[in-house]
Structure 1
């Protein structure tokens, strides 16, 4: 009896720090707790309850690491936005094949992360879509309110930028086309002119803070 009493606390003591760390991790960030876990592979038929627990803990630690690399945790603090908005931007960028870091920078430059932003020219929402462009990108955007809905606005803007990146095979030209319009950029290029107007620096930054990816969502473009 005394032998069992001494072994049980020792085993519990080894596991307690791990469990406490997991609880603290979930308490530290609602982003992690809100993520939908990817379907796990079926457990082996002979796997014990203890083995299932440690496999689940390993998978959760791996998922946490991957989310951290993708900027999901650092973005709210870095850009001064809510975890919910950071999650929406991140997911929209991934869905459209755009590097999330570029997505954050585009939204910062276009709207300052204000979903209700309106420009003097009439551009709306987080990615500052003109109503005609928004309807061209998504036929469901039939009103200003619909255009300013965060998720559809982000997906339309990010999807358009990704198409421009594929068209020009050059991030700077794609950003300039997003800002000035494809017609204006193509016209300058045909005439041998530089279409740059300072917008690319505004979005991409300078010096050590400059964005150095190609804009596409790839493993190499993670934070």
Structure 2
């Protein structure tokens, strides 16, 4: 119970836009509350006027970062208790991981290679546990608020599943309702159940699992699901929708539950203390930052990501006259920051912009992919440009 309280308190910090050391005590006292309104009311009292207290903004951003570190640390520890040190898995930008049933069952969805794996280490009733986990996996809603990735809490079912249209049952049918999910789970038990052995505390443990392949073109289908949100923000900020889609493709592979240990959230992997902070100031004309919970909402996340791209193009690495060159600079800056983009061309900002504007777009691209100081950013620009080809016809 003490360990759970610690986890719940960390989760509360992770969701709150303004934190203090006292917030931890508040969170512990209400962690077991069944009413979300209580949580909202208590944490809502922590609001801070950051314009009048700028130092508190830095402290609160540090608190949120520390809380997320704690969440991952505690989750990994609980997973290791059941799956062994080498078998523990935690969520990431492109990988959905959800534990159930006292951490004995789990779902692993790799959005990059399009695979869904459901497995259990339950030794008493493995078939029943695995079947239940498969049904939950197939029916898990798209809304991240229905899923607590950092605990084994049950998933709240009912809304449209995020895997709808991305996986099919044995009859090549979509899986929307519990009866069909249950029937497919039974079929999987009979036709694709596999076993392997892991070591836990020096002893062998049997893992039973099933694997489901996503349909061909699953990334394009995922893109279509969020296309209205993307188009709305593309229109609002004068961006090409394929630019936003390609950023999402490279950042999260359309994982609606994306969260990374680096502190980035959501489809466009927005970091609250950097891009999130800048966009918050831009949108609200006051200092602040979005919460992790807000950034897990697809509409909010895409709004923040698109607004940040707008700031990069119009303010941070601008003005760049050629729109294609401007996009190349914005893409590189989205990953590595605007300062390093400009320094790739010159240590002097004005001289850097002058050189960029004197180059044709293909020379700007070549310079960024060959001379940018960060190998990750060089590869990132290449990946995003290649990804845009996937969405030209969407």
TM class, shorter-chain normalised?
Answer: 0.5 to 0.7
Equivalences for 1:8-157 in 2 at 5 Å?
Answer: 79-81=220-222, 83-132=224-273, 133-138=275-280, 141-157=289-305
Q: Deviations over 1:29-51 (max 9, x none)?
A: xxxxxxxxxxxxxxxxxxxxxxx
TM-score w.r.t. length of structure 2: 0.31
Distance 1:210 1:168, change over 3 A: farther
Report the equivalent of 1:209. 389
CA RMSD of aligned residues (A): 3.1
Contact 1:204-1:210 within 8 A present in 2 as well:
no
- Aligned partner of residue 81 in structure 1, secondary structure: helix
Contact 2:219-2:253 within 8 A present in 1 as well:
no
Report the equivalent of 1:198. 379
Distance 1:82 1:180, change over 3 A: closer
Contact 2:223-2:254 within 8 A present in 1 as well:
no
Report the equivalent of 1:183. 339
Distance 1:155 1:180, change over 3 A: same
TM-score w.r.t. length of structure 1: 0.53
Q: Which has the higher helix share?
A: 1
Distance 1:83 1:197, change over 3 A: closer
Q: Which has the higher strand share?
A: 2
User: Distance in 2 between the 1:86 and 1:210 partners?
Assistant: 14
User: Distance in 2 between the 1:108 and 1:168 partners?
Assistant: 27
Distance 1:143 1:210, change over 3 A: closer
Contact 1:126-1:154 within 8 A present in 2 as well:
yes
Distance 1:109 1:101, change over 3 A: same
- Aligned partner of residue 378 in structure 2, secondary structure: coil
User: Distance in 1 between the 2:297 and 2:242 partners?
Assistant: 21
1:165 is displaced (CA, Å) by: 2.5
Alignment: residue pair count: 138
The gaps in structure 2 that reach 5 residues or longer are: 1-216, 282-287, 353-366
Distance 1:141 1:79, change over 3 A: farther
